[in-house]
Amino acid sequence: MFKKISVPLLILLTVFFALGLSSVVAAAEVVDGLHNSYIYSAKDYILYLENESKKDQEAVEVLKQFKALNHYQQELFVKALQPETYIKIVEKVLNSKEGEKLFITIDNVKIPINSNKSYKDKSDFVPMSNLRWVKVEQKVALFGINLTTFYTSVHFEHSGTNATRALSSSQGHSNYNPFMMVTPRGVSTPYISGGLAYATGSWTIGITPTGGLFYSEDAELSVRANATDQWKRMWSTIPAWNTGWVWASNVY
């Protein structure tokens, strides 16, 4: 014979079940690497990267490099991923000169935030051509491990000095900071103005601080170029991420 359950007891059971279910979901989110609010330690970040590695070959390399750090470096790395710190890291990168050595201090330890990757200008591979491919990027790294990259490219014809006809444009990104969700909004149609070819890539950046509320920001990376030089400009609704036009390497 079934006993009748009182309303207060039913409410308590419902709350208990809900809390229990939430705990199960939270644990699953850590294992699957899908919820940034549970990335508290190096172990959590490794689980996140292992999940990303199932669908992204670049994440495999990030995971390999992260595991090569010692435990103390890994814990500092995870602290640097927190949005309040990471936004400042991006700001520092944006306001630096190309090739300048940069560091961020966490727990009185200096962490390098430069990328170790170098490039060769693709135009060197097409001598005597009136075509040029230019790609500029904005990259953030920790301990030499590339974490977030935005790029915008433009393909155009030139007269030997000025850009004369815009042909195509593209954008792309990679991101291995689970506290930031980067979504492309689309690249502009390329155009010519004043002897320069222009294009702009745009993204929405979703940010979730630990224990905080989700919010979103916008970001754009523009490129302009002629036959011999190229420049980039970053714009964002995060005021500290705005820059003017600066000379940039062609990273093709």
pLDDT digits (tens, 9 = 90+) for 120-166: 444 444 555 899 999 999 999 999 999 999 999 999 999 999 999 99
**CA-based Rg of the chain, rounded to a whole angstrom?**
23
Total residue count of the chain as it appears in this document: 252
Domain housing 234: 84-247
CA atoms within a 13 Å half-sphere pointing along the CA-CB vector of 155: 8
Lowest-pLDDT range of 84-93, 108-117, 166-175, 176-185? 108-117
Averaged confidence pLDDT in the chain: 82
Q: Are residues 89 and 189 in the same domain?
A: yes
Residue 61 lies in a domain: no
Entry pTM: 0.80
| Token pair for 114 | 């430069």
Measured distance CA(233)–CA(224) in Å, rounded = 9
Q: For the residues 100-119, what does the mean pLDDT come to? A: 80
Q: How many domains does the chain have?
A: 2
Report pLDDT for 12: 40
Measured distance CA(225)–CA(223) in Å, rounded = 7
Q: Are residues 91 and 216 in the same domain?
A: yes
Residue 242 lies in a domain: yes
Q: Does position 93 have pLDDT exceeding 60, yes or no?
A: yes
Q: Are residues 122 and 225 in the same domain?
A: yes
Q: For the residues 183-200, what does the mean pLDDT come to? A: 97
